Chains A and B, each alone.
Chain A
Amino acid sequence: MNIQKVGVIGAGVMGASIAAHITNAGVPVTLLDIVPKDGNNRNVIAEGAVKKLLEADPAPFMDKNNAKLITTGNIDDHLDWLKDADWVIEAVVENLQIKQALYQKLDAVCKADCLISSNTSTLPLALLTKDMPDSFKRRFMITHFFNPPRYMRLLELIPGRKTDPEIILAVNEFADIKLGKNCVVCKDTPGFIGNRIGIYWLLYGLLDAIDNKITVEQADAIMQPFGIPKTGIFGLLDLVGLDLIPPILYGMKLALPPNDAFHEVNRLPDILQTLIVGGYTGRKGKGGFYRLNKIEGKKIKESVNLQSGVYAISVKPDLKEIQEARKAGLKALFSHPHPVAQYAWRVISNTLCYAASLIPEICDDITGVDAAMRDGYNWRYGPFELLDQIGLPWFVEILKSEKRPVPAWLLNKESLYSTVSGKLEYADVSGAYRPVKRAEGVLLLSDIKQQSKPILHNPSASLWDISGGAACLEFHSKMNTLDMNIMALINQSIDKVQAEFKALVIHNNGENFSAGANLGLLMKAIHDQNWDAVADLIKQGQQTYKNLKYAPFPVVGAPSGLALGGGCEILLHCDAVQAHAELYMGLVEVGVGLIPGWGGCKEYLRRCLQLKRPGGPIPPVVKAFQTIGLASVSKSAFDAKELLYLGTNDSITMNKDRLLADAKTKALALSKDYAPPKPYLYPMPGKTAKVLLDMGIKAFHLIGKATDYDVIVSGQLTHVLSGGESDFTAPLTEDNILALELEAFLTLVKQPGTLARLDHMLKTGKPLRN
């Protein structure tokens, strides 16, 4: 089954953003909603939803042009547009009768092999299909997306007893490869996996904080050591929407068996009701547990006192003692007498016990539960992985000492996951260990790292054998920043790969490919006024990247997340890039008062010059300046193509787990009859282009869009990008451009303005507008 056309019914936040994400896969979508009672435009709801999608932040579309792939209409007039759809997703209001009536209509309109699914998060599948014929039940399942669908990797698949296995496979494959989802098959139980555990955790955290006078800031801060995002408990409740909690709790109350531990946390505290009644429904309302209050034109973050309901300026909690204890591990944190540490113990231990009690009720094995919490709630570790991080035997002993029930299958185990002969295994409820299976086409560097030893290694980078003749260069410095260790390892890798491999992939399994050069090193040299060291830093980077570019084997970059500054520059030197769709790539050096100095200007200029379009000497230079001068960062890999950071030979992988395998395939394909690129000659216009660009900057400065120091930095950038003193009849070599980069870099590092920018970035993580 090939899914080529999708229908989405219900253009609310979820329906519309699911539609948007399906267009990110290049698949056209018909988006229908009801006809409003008033007004002339019968399609206004779906049309309005697409408009909102275009303005939404974070952006649901990876490329705004994808909006054109959505056809909008209404269910009264246009249901027949779904007759050739391969998959129809129902995302209408959580009302059983409405959904059932819609299924009757869909069953009549849709072609026989069209898959129909519901995005319900509260209604059981058995009820949804109760009166439907078996033919419908065979093509029906629940596909539960998490919000926002572009960014949350989890897709819960809940097949019914009669759902055709082929359909489950087809959705799984489409969602995995085309939508980048991690699909977890769940049982038809209330809240499935993610929300069953997630809502329990949120409510336990909320109620316990109220009972034990823990502040919202303390509660949220203490979740971070467990790999839980900064939003913690209260920030996440605000994000979800406080008004959604009462109906969810009501639904759970009705649906769960009477002995379920969920009932212990199923109560609405007064503070929650007060907030909802007052319009404090979370981020979508006036605020929630946190709010942004405008005082004298400034937005001040405030938080609510859980006892009094009064807002006060939000303060960072003082948890130094606990942080100190945490250095000795999570056990030490839990053992600390501080009330906040004890709060953490109660919340986490009860949540983990609850999760353990749900195996196999909600999912056959722990890997599905862990994946659901990682990809649906952005936890770094799933509950069972977290148990291993804490130490399972210790955890069990404490439960026993507190005379709390311990799920039997947790007993007598050292850990829930273990690596046997390099293969990762997990414990099942029977007590046996089974291998963790990876889907075909999934290759994880983390697995390779468990199964083998690096070929080359230093504190910042390693080289791994990823089989088939390909090697993988991994950065593992802090934030994957680039330093001289990495440069050294690249040069060693070039010799090694040349001797023993066919191709090289540059990839790591961090959240971000690279945040750029290690600015700390640069700062030290600047403070010491050691300009020779700065020059050496630049020259080494330039030479190393050049070595990589002209190596006698293909080099394929496989980035995901941030690829900034030097991280962007290394990708620009690769023969090809296999990018994860979520790629935020950019030459952002001007933000710290510098220019790209490791060949970024050189490689980006070449892309602009080689772009086939009518032109002349000026447009490529203007394009390069617009991109680098404004520190443009791509909002996706598709956007990176628009920005020319990625070229026509570069490809995009939607599922991060498939990135390394795709990159490896690409690299090995390139290795057949591989020849390094021929050096490029740069026909540069010279000073005339600099004058033109400088006039533009001056105009920007006059209107207040460029700061005083922007003018200085841009002045150096325009010197490089115009080709210095050259004339377009006498093309420059790559080395000429590199020399210009070096000269401009060395000029800028000596300026106090650059030092101020660097200092500010290192201290705050944000650019200084001096």
Chain B
Amino acid sequence: MKNVVIAGYCRSPFTPAQKGSLAKIRPDDIAAQVVKGLAGKTGVNPEDIEDLILGCAFPEGEQGLNVARLVVFLAGLPNTIAGMTLNRFCGSSMQAIHIAVGAIQMNAGEVFICAGLESMSRIPMGGYNNMPNPALYEVFPQAYIGMGDTAENLAVKYQISRKEQEIFALASQKKAYAAQQSGCFDDEIIPVTGKYGTVDKDGCLRPDSTAEGLAGLSPAFQAAGTVTAGTSSPLTDGAAAVLVCSEDYADKHKLPKLARILSHAVSGCAPEIMGIGPVSATHKALTRANLTLADIDIVELNEAFSAQSLAVLKELAIPPEKLNIDGGAIALGHPLGATGARITGKAASLLRRENKRYALATQCIGGGQGIATILEAV
């Protein structure tokens, strides 16, 4: 089978929904600038790109129709590149990478742009016309459970205290701020320009977070609960993209090879504890790569919630020094459709930067799912 590599990664700044600098910019415009930036940065010949696969959790409104195809046009890429929008909620753009890997390995293309976008300012979570199936709701209401409630369920199930959640969130904030200060995001951020100027810096970080401040917040989802806004990933606007191609193609065209994709997996779990999804997905992906967790040097675990991440860590023994070393979604933000491309691209970049061998990128997904990707340094 062909080897498939990640040959480039970039993203827009991530900024908070409504209040942030990207709130007034259409998501398709954000994504187009990121995709264009990726093409420029990698030096790939656009004529060779087979498809733009674009993940989005709520593909309607300004990120509706088949927004992937529209982003091709907006980015000024050749019409010969096709466009596919896909939805696996938070796992959408990681799934985009998986689809590209499969296509390359079955000889259905050499080069793909795998991207994701979400404007949580401009398209509400749940969409404009959320129409749940009453019959399903009657027999299986957890199919539609709110994400905050799933985090509360995990906190109870795994006996994770509010204090532990706050310590985890504070660590994420500290790591992200340190990374920002030392310029670790400079390479990956594509400045995005809109009517009101250019945005080139992440906006969700709360470097002024303190243990006392976090302890003073009210619960965000359940009056008697332990999950707060401070221990949840914020609603975020942003887009991310990676270039996925066969290793042969990268070699032939001298593209920068960040990492080889060894294996990937998705899995399902009970929707009311959707946050535990990464556990089974990771086990499947490790098995497929013939590795154990101990072999993994770098882990990007999406931080939907502190409680959710800590529950996963109770099942997967990941040492803190390997985990989200530039911070996670609690600090950086979580633009649903874009996160998968961010953490996979980030894991690939970190393998290079940290000079390590194996990386894992994994996420939980609403509705009770997990997704995972194993990478190997090239």
Contacts and interface: CB of A to CB of B under 8 A. Distances in A.
A688 interface: yes
Nearest to A616: B129
A695 B142 CA distance: 11
B294 interface: no
Given A702-B221, A702-B222, A703-B219, A695 B132 contact: yes
Contact of B137 (A616, A685, A691, A702): A691
A618 B131 contact: yes
B133 interface: yes
Given A702-B149, A702-B222, A685 B144 contact: no
A36 interface: no
A619 interface: yes
Nearest to A704: B223
Interface in A617-656: 617-619
Contacts of B128: 614-616, 618-619
B144 A688 contact: no
Nearest to B152: A702
A623 to B, nearest CB: 12
Interface residues of B, number: 19
Contacts of B134: 686-688, 690-691
Interface in A666-711: 685-692, 695, 699, 702-704
Contacts of B221: 699, 702-703
A692 B132 contact: yes
Contacts of B132: 688, 691-692, 695
A35 B220 CA distance: 44
A704 B225 CA distance: 11
A689 B131 contact: yes
Most chain B beta-carbon contacts within 10 A, residue among A619, A689, A702: A702
A690 B133 CA distance: 10
B223 A699 contact: no
B205 to A, nearest CB: 26
A617 to B, nearest CB: 6
Contacts of B61: 614
Q: Is the interface of A mostly helix, strand, loop or mixed?
A: helix
Contact of A692 (B131, B148, B223, B225): B131
Nearest to A694: B137
B102 interface: no
Nearest to B136: A691
B313 to A, nearest CB: 26
Q: Is the interface of B mostly helix, strand, loop or mixed?
A: loop
A721 to B, nearest CB: 15
A614 B249 CA distance: 45
Contacts of A691: 132-134, 137, 144
Contacts of B222: 702-703
A695 B223 contact: no
Contact of A695 (B129, B144, B148, B225): B144
Interface string B148-184: 1100000000000000000000000000000000000
B220 A618 contact: no
B131 A685 contact: yes
Contacts of A688: 131-134
Given A616-B129, A685-B131, A692-B132, A703 B223 contact: yes
B130 interface: yes
Contacts of B225: 702
A692 B223 CA distance: 21
B43 interface: no
B146 interface: yes
Nearest to A688: B131
Contact of B130 (A614, A618, A703, A704): A618
Contacts of A618: 128-131
A619 B61 CA distance: 13
Interface string B48-72: 0000000000000100000000000
Nearest to B223: A704
Contacts of A690: 134
A685 B131 CA distance: 8
Contacts of A703: 219-223
Nearest to A702: B222
Interface string A107-146: 0000000000000000000000000000000000000000
B131 A617 contact: yes
A695 B146 CA distance: 9
Interface string A719-762: 00000000000000000000000000000000000000000000
Most chain A beta-carbon contacts within 10 A, residue among B130, B148, B223: B130
Nearest to B141: A695
Contacts of A704: 223
A702 B227 CA distance: 12
Most chain A beta-carbon contacts within 10 A, residue among B131, B132, B148: B131
A718 to B, nearest CB: 12
Contact of A699 (B137, B146, B219): B146
Given A695-B146, A702-B149, A617 B129 contact: yes
A98 B137 CA distance: 72
A618 to B, nearest CB: 4
Most chain B beta-carbon contacts within 10 A, residue among A686, A689, A692: A692
A699 B227 CA distance: 14
Nearest to B138: A691
A298 to B, nearest CB: 22
Nearest to B130: A692
Interface string B114-137: 000000000000001111111001
A447 B68 CA distance: 70
Interface string A283-313: 0000000000000000000000000000000
Contacts of A692: 130-132
A438 to B, nearest CB: 51
Contacts of B220: 703
A689 B134 CA distance: 9
A617 B134 CA distance: 15
A698 to B, nearest CB: 9
B122 to A, nearest CB: 12
Interface string B305-320: 0000000000000000
Nearest to B146: A699
Nearest to A701: B223
Contacts of B219: 703
A685 B223 CA distance: 31
Contacts of A619: 128-129
B359 to A, nearest CB: 36
A685 B128 CA distance: 13
A500 B220 CA distance: 61
19 contacts: A614-B61, A615-B129, A618-B129, A619-B128, A686-B134, A687-B134, A688-B131, A688-B133, A691-B134, A691-B137, A692-B131, A692-B132, A699-B148, A699-B149, A702-B222, A702-B223, A702-B225, A703-B222, A703-B223
Shortest beta-carbon contacts, A-B, top 3 = A704-B223, A616-B129, A687-B134
Given A691-B134, A691-B137, A695-B144, 5 more contacts: A614-B61, A615-B128, A617-B129, A685-B131, A695-B146
